Amino acid sequence: MISHKLSVAPMLDWTDRHCRYFYRLMSEHTVLYTEMVTTGAILHGKGDYLSYNNVEHPLVLQLGGSDVKAMTECAKIAEQYGYDEININVGCPSDRVQNGRFGACLMAEPSLVADCVNEMQAASKVPVTVKSRIGIDDLDSYEFLHTFIDQVAQAGCQHFIIHARKAWLTGLSPKQNRDIPPLDYARVYKIKQDFSALEISINGGIKTFAEANNHLQHIDGVMIGREIYNSPYLLAQADQQIYGVEKEVISRQQVINSMADYVDAYVSSTLEQGNAYRNPRAWHVLRHMLGLCNGLAGARQFRRYLSESAREDGANGNTLKQAFAKVTMLNDQI
């Protein structure tokens, strides 16, 4: 049984398998999510979009789609791959997602989401969860959200991750939808009060573990996205501060050493799984590490060196160590 007290949000082009490996080094218990993978990619794509490293568990597949049959087939495949959960994307507001009739627009079709949940759970033993907004466009009343949760929960969904902003499906870009609609944490808290038997996680605008622990006084879990991507070393204290585990905090130096080995193994591999990249290159991994030294003297030099050198032919784990040397010479303890 997964503890969802803390999770890293699924983020397109960001939370790929290299990023998740990096995050798992720093936190044993934080739940990790894949980027959203569409049913079309899984069923008809030429690459293996579901591959991952076994150390990534607990790991959730975020699935994009709305065709019940296709969603059910993907649930069966995800079970074969060993994913811990499957999460249905009912929160992304992008035009591309809307054109595929999934993402946030599905909030207007709770019966369809319920059918997907019901059939997926009947076909697979993997729990199915839903990530949504608090509303869409002018459908943003508490009653609208309550009805959506109620109908989907009756189909068997026991865990909802709610981004505490509504989504404007027209007029705002996906980036603007992450910032402009106001946050309404109280609405998510009320959902938990009204559906006390359900597991409710909250997402949106959370930047510190102090904030996360405050939310955990009201709901069951907290999901953080951009803040962790931009300052990933935050995760190094997640097990202690969120899960109450007594253990030594991994140092940045230890993270660097482990990731340097990972990069060397990756760039020397002859077969890159999936279609994300045609050739293994250090930049595919190191791009996720640019914020590792944020807050330290030399962080800017670290980012600049990685941004420039990790893109070059022949870049490897030593490139990462060289970047980190620009930080170590300016800090006594890291």
* Catalytic site positions: 92
24: tokens are: 């798992």
Burial of 67 (0-12, 13-18, 19+ CB in 10 A): middle
For tokens 């074969």, the residue is: 80
156: tokens are: 């068997």
Q: Give me the DSSP letters along 58-126.
A: SEEEEEE---HHHHHHHHHHHHHHT-SEEEEEE----HHHHHTT-SGGGGG-HHHHHHHHHHHHHH-SS
For tokens 């794509």, the residue is: 45
Which residues in 190-283 belong to E strands, given as ranges? 199-203, 221-224
Give the C-alpha separation, 85 to 82, whole Å: 9
Contact (CB, 8 A) for 23 and 58: no
Q: Which of 127, 93, 96, 90 is nearest to 111 (CA)?
A: 90
Burial of 319 (0-12, 13-18, 19+ CB in 10 A): buried
Q: Which of 262, 272, 278, 270 is nearest to 319 (CA)?
A: 262
Distance from the Cα of residue 321 to its chain's centroid:
27
Give the C-alpha separation, 7 to 202, whole Å: 10
Q: Which of 242, 154, 141 is nearest to 201 (CA)?
A: 242
DSSP classification of residue 236 = G
